[in-house]
Structure 1
Amino acid sequence: MRNLPSPEADASFEPVVRLSHRRRKAVLTSVMLGLFLSALDQTVISVALRTITDDLHGLSRQAWVTTAYLVTGTVVGPMYGKLADVFGRRRTYAAAIALFAVGSLLCAAADSVTELAVFRAVQGLGGGGLASLAMTVIADVTTLRERGRYQGFYTAVFGTAALAGPVVGGVLAGQDTLLGVAGWRWIFLINLPLAALALVMVLRLLRVPHRPVRHRLDVLGAVALVAGAAPLLVVAEQGGVWGWGSRAAWSLYGAGLFGLAAFVAVERRAGDAALLPLRLFRVHVFRLGVTLHFMVGFGVFGAAVTVPLYLQLVQGMGPVEAGLASLPTAAAGFVVTLVAGRVIARTGRIKPCLVAGVACLALGLLVCAGLGRGSSMLLATAGMVLLGAGMGAAMQTMTTLAQSGAPRPDMGAATAAVHFFRTSGGTVGTAVFLSVVFSSAASHIHERISAASRNARFHHLAERPGNARVITSLLGPGGHGALQDSSALVRLDALLVRPFREGYADALHAAFLLGAVVMLAALVHAMVRVPDRTLPDA
């Protein structure tokens, strides 16, 4: 078993910022509140999204609400890393919080799914900095071996938000109005006081010694990154609707590849000022870390948006019930995060936790792929526990793996790159999962209705004018329209609802199975390629 290079062995590695325990605690507390703000927003909206898009009459377009946030958050992540290296962590983090709050206020005022998606994109411009800069600050004040434990706190914040978010989101989405405002709009309004508190704490407590990096800002690189990443993320979201081989899809493939090629050329010329320094990709463990982040992000983010759909569209739960049913995922993630962090801090080895975590994710998605309308909640809970445990064990270890090969002067850019690849994978995963579900759900439901129509009682109920109007409103006159408002299901007889729930289950099965395949590939990659090394305690 080999050790990673020690700081003394490479002059490019500077020692960590040594702070007293009290000051380190203050620094981490300040960024963790900002991180909690971002994490809570994502988990609150997960179970409420169906209610929101039903109210705005755009269920089939709900992917835009999620991916708009992820696209902007993904492409600005590397920019925040470079800005933090140039201007310092405190000012950059404060700007991210302020931008996130503005986006939240706009989201609360949205009157259509299109408006909400645009405003979520604005929110993502701030949210993209909250998560990536938190990891950067942790790296500033901890050694590699300590980092597993402290990044465990990072994941634990997500776990806490995951525990509270679904319940809060379900309760708010379940309210018709609250203080004269639609209940779901409070999901965004509650961000405002939290953002104000986080901003005050960051300005007062986030004081880490900063040595400014005297580089010009790589504006051309940022433009090229947006030009390359955005078309590919959009086609990932719309490919199932347009057709993966359609002219529109091929146009975006070409635009994206051209943009990425331009980005690589620009970054080579930018040298040390590059948004994502290309020299980092010559480091083996860094390449492994960001590749695994992309693959695991695909499955984790995809599952995060489709498990609540299974609970609500297939099991028939309301937002509050779905939020409570999701708690095992968060609880497992919270516990495993803390345990994995302690194990890494004690042993210095990250590969065992990484492999175990990815294996749990793969198994959890396979369990979810086997769920149907009649599946027991015990089986669904087992799948969610595996997903939570996998996230808790894998996420922090992949970050530490990538950071272990980065020189400290590049830590902001390196950590932003980790965030970029994870959220890129997550954006693609979210878009592909939802695209698979909503591009195939109508045809699956139509097939189930055709089979059920052989039942005389079903046929008789479906022919009643009131029921026929509801079915037409769900699927369109030809039976193959886009599903816009699933809340109409509550107005149907249980026998008529059954083929809808079975059709959704069929569509979700394909999405979960696709995620499991990607996770199995990530598992093989982790087992074969990741070296079993001991992290230095320096």
Structure 2
Amino acid sequence: MEDNIQKITTNKKTTHRPIVLTAIVIGMFMAAIEATIVATAMPNIVADLGGFSLYSWVFSIFLFMQAITIPIYGKLADLYGRKPVYIAGVTIFLIGSVLCGLATTMPLLIVFRFIQGLGAGAVQPIATTIVGDIYTLEERAKVQGYLASVWGISAIIGPTLGGIFVEFLHWKWIFWINVPFGILSLLGIIFFLHERITPKKQAIDYVGAILLFMSVTGVMIAFIQGGVAWSWLSLESFLFFFLFIVGFLLFLRQEKRAKEPIMPLSIWKNQLIIFANIGSLTTGMIMIAVMSVIPTYVQGTMGQSAIVGGFTLAVMSIGWPISSTIAGKILIKIGFMKTAFIGGCFLIIGAIFLLFSVPAYGPVMPGLGSFLIGAGMGFSTTTYIVSIQSNVKWDIRGVATATNAFMRILGNTMGVALAGALLNSRLLSYLEEHAPEAAESHGLGLADALLDPLQQEHLPKDVLSILQEGLATSVHTVFWFLIILAVITLICNCFLPNKVTKVDGK
């Protein structure tokens, strides 16, 4: 057993790896359910609560808090151990999940998603770090592949379950389903993960966290509200982009000065980490953009049910576990770059399938595109995680893993903001051009009626046709965005070193 594994055991108690892994798998299952089940139910949530213009905020505020808290949780995990941080994060996440199910308005749902995201920042990165601690390099490649497969398999269930809840129960259950899984995961970690950690009396970089919060807030608001609430060239857009730039520059300065930075800039000197993190950023943008628009595309423009929309998205999660399992087996044999290159190619092909899909042909083409993008995600993300964990020592593995997770979640945040901005601004422009009177009186509120079958029946046929055509055109604008991101990801993957390096604290 490696040195790093010895660091998380005590003389009297030894970590029970199978049970801990099971607890982590359950936690990953919960995270996968949360990521996909909400996307499937969003058209129905909008139909029930209204507020299509706030559509992106339900995703963004959750992902935003994840992105902000991930580096903090990663640093806390290195200072005080993985176990207490994981327990605290899952507990907050479950409280937020219960509250989300009790929301009666869209603004209230957004507030509760804020709380949920506050806890979610600890779930996946700390779980992945625990796996990096208790397994050797050879074991880790396979286990991380299995974890990614579990993410994919459970994500298949998520959209389908979301469609069933929406059709036969209520969308509130998409949040309450997290509770039993979260409790089981907590029990496994509490009773069977034993760490020998000497708490370090070192300060947390709260100033850096605040500056990061300020920076990401600026860019998120600018992208979501730009072109909808105000013009892209307005004073408001300028101020929020300025807030982003200033906040980011101050954050970099603070990280250079801080004794215990939440994101040590030194880890960015490694070429592998640089390109793996940039790749995580772009794949994170691709993943959330697909998740946020596919159900709306299938339900709104094709007139399909929530179950069909969920299944169209779920096939992305069929390609994911298959490719993740293959990546875990071939990674050591062929190296990082070649494995990730395969993933980049799948991402581009999948985005092309989505671009050439049309509503008249039904959900088959979007389904194929989703499947191929899922395959690309599996090859790429598995490579990023294993390569980073194999190139850093134990005492910064939590930060390194959390930084990679942060880049992916930041990509999610930016991706849903940009996809939402493209979707909203293009749809509003289309409505103003083809239905100026309706656009002037209702704006994007017309889309609420499009996503509600009961309201849709009362729409004039010409207005309904314009809405569906406008939504299809807007979604295809997002698909062009995906192709650009996929090309950038492939380029980054080509710069990963192909040699597998073994560090593991020695």
TM over 0.5: yes
**2:339 corresponding residue in structure 1:** 353
**Are positions 1:69 and 2:36 aligned together?**
no
What secondary structure is seen at the aligned counterpart in 2 of 1:534? coil
Instruction: Return the letter of the residue paired with 2:246.
Output: F
CA distance in structure 2 between the aligned counterparts of 1:153 and 1:357, rounded to whole angstroms: 17
Please, which runs of 5 or more residues in structure 1 have no aligned partner?
1-13, 451-470
| Structure-2 change in CA distance of 1:442 and 1:218 (3 Å) | closer
**2:233 corresponding residue in structure 1:** 245
**Are positions 1:335 and 2:301 aligned together?**
no
CA distance in structure 1 between the aligned counterparts of 2:87 and 2:372, rounded to whole angstroms: 36
Contact 2:38 2:174 in 1 (8 A): yes
Q: State the structure with more CA Rg.
A: 1
Deviation at 1:193, TM superposition (A): 2.4
**1:458 corresponding residue in structure 2:** none
**1:79 corresponding residue in structure 2:** 72
Deviation at 1:143, TM superposition (A): 3.2
**2:383 corresponding residue in structure 1:** 397
Residue among 243, 254, 270 paired with 1:255: 243
**1:443 corresponding residue in structure 2:** 429
Residue among 299, 317, 322 paired with 2:304: 317
| Structure-2 change in CA distance of 1:235 and 1:442 (3 Å) | closer
Contact 1:27 1:207 in 2 (8 A): no
**2:207 corresponding residue in structure 1:** 220
Residue among 11, 14, 24 paired with 2:17: 24
Residue among 473, 476, 493 paired with 1:509: 476
CA deviations over 1:215-260 (Å, ceiling 9, x no partner): 2222222222212222122222222322333211111111122222
CA deviations over 1:409-443 (Å, ceiling 9, x no partner): 11111111111111101110111112211222133
CA distance in structure 2 between the aligned counterparts of 1:250 and 1:237, rounded to whole angstroms: 14
CA distance in structure 2 between the aligned counterparts of 1:479 and 1:16, rounded to whole angstroms: 57
CA distance in structure 1 between the aligned counterparts of 2:184 and 2:445, rounded to whole angstroms: 45
Deviation at 1:213, TM superposition (A): 4.1
Deviation at 1:265, TM superposition (A): 1.9
CA distance in structure 1 between the aligned counterparts of 2:102 and 2:280, rounded to whole angstroms: 34
**1:126 corresponding residue in structure 2:** 119
**2:420 corresponding residue in structure 1:** 434
Deviation at 1:375, TM superposition (A): 2.8
Deviation at 1:135, TM superposition (A): 1.4
**2:146 corresponding residue in structure 1:** 153
| Structure-2 change in CA distance of 1:360 and 1:240 (3 Å) | farther
Deviation at 1:161, TM superposition (A): 2.0
Instruction: Return the letter of the residue paired with 1:381.
Output: G
CA distance in structure 1 between the aligned counterparts of 2:297 and 2:165, rounded to whole angstroms: 20
Residue among 425, 439, 447 paired with 1:483: 447
What secondary structure is seen at the aligned counterpart in 2 of 1:383? helix
User: Which range is displaced more, 334-343 or 209-218?
Assistant: 209-218
What secondary structure is seen at the aligned counterpart in 1 of 2:140? helix
Instruction: Return the letter of the residue paired with 1:485.
Output: A
**Are positions 1:202 and 2:209 aligned together?**
no
| Structure-2 change in CA distance of 1:134 and 1:80 (3 Å) | same
What secondary structure is seen at the aligned counterpart in 2 of 1:374? helix
Contact 2:96 2:112 in 1 (8 A): yes
CA distance in structure 1 between the aligned counterparts of 2:444 and 2:184, rounded to whole angstroms: 48
What secondary structure is seen at the aligned counterpart in 2 of 1:174? helix
**2:273 corresponding residue in structure 1:** 286
What secondary structure is seen at the aligned counterpart in 2 of 1:326? helix
| Structure-2 change in CA distance of 1:537 and 1:225 (3 Å) | closer
Normalising by structure 1, report the TM-score: 0.86
CA deviations over 1:449-507 (Å, ceiling 9, x no partner): 69xxxxxxxxxxxxxxxxxxxx95xx453777663332122444767633322211100
Instruction: Return the letter of the residue paired with 1:165.
Output: G
Contact 1:358 1:523 in 2 (8 A): yes
Contact 1:287 1:402 in 2 (8 A): no
CA deviations over 1:49-81 (Å, ceiling 9, x no partner): 110011001122110000010001110000100
Instruction: Return the letter of the residue paired with 1:530.
Output: L
Deviation at 1:448, TM superposition (A): 5.4
CA deviations over 1:321-351 (Å, ceiling 9, x no partner): 2123333221111211111111124x16121
Contact 1:403 1:411 in 2 (8 A): yes
| Residue identity (%) | 27
The 5-angstrom pairing of residues 123-202 of structure 1 reads 123-175=116-168, 178=169, 183-202=170-189
Contact 2:125 2:401 in 1 (8 A): yes
Deviation at 1:403, TM superposition (A): 2.9
CA distance in structure 2 between the aligned counterparts of 1:167 and 1:362, rounded to whole angstroms: 26
Deviation at 1:537, TM superposition (A): 8.8
CA distance in structure 2 between the aligned counterparts of 1:263 and 1:22, rounded to whole angstroms: 38
User: Which range is displaced more, 369-378 or 291-300?
Assistant: 369-378
CA distance in structure 1 between the aligned counterparts of 2:175 and 2:56, rounded to whole angstroms: 18
**Are positions 1:369 and 2:317 aligned together?**
no
Deviation at 1:148, TM superposition (A): 2.5
| Structure-2 change in CA distance of 1:480 and 1:438 (3 Å) | closer
User: Which range is displaced more, 56-65 or 376-385?
Assistant: 376-385
**1:532 corresponding residue in structure 2:** 498
What secondary structure is seen at the aligned counterpart in 1 of 2:91? helix
Contact 2:393 2:503 in 1 (8 A): no
Please, which runs of 5 or more residues in structure 2 have no aligned partner?
none
Instruction: Return the letter of the residue paired with 1:101.
Output: L
Q: Which runs of 4+ in 1 moved over 4 A?
A: 18-22, 445-450, 478-482, 492-496
Deviation at 1:211, TM superposition (A): 4.7
CA distance in structure 1 between the aligned counterparts of 2:238 and 2:30, rounded to whole angstroms: 38
**1:521 corresponding residue in structure 2:** 488
User: Which range is displaced more, 100-109 or 239-248?
Assistant: 239-248
What secondary structure is seen at the aligned counterpart in 2 of 1:240? coil
Contact 1:476 1:482 in 2 (8 A): no
Contact 2:294 2:366 in 1 (8 A): no
| Structure-2 change in CA distance of 1:479 and 1:195 (3 Å) | closer
Residue among 20, 23, 46 paired with 1:53: 46
**Are positions 1:44 and 2:37 aligned together?**
yes
What secondary structure is seen at the aligned counterpart in 2 of 1:483? helix
| Structure-2 change in CA distance of 1:399 and 1:245 (3 Å) | farther
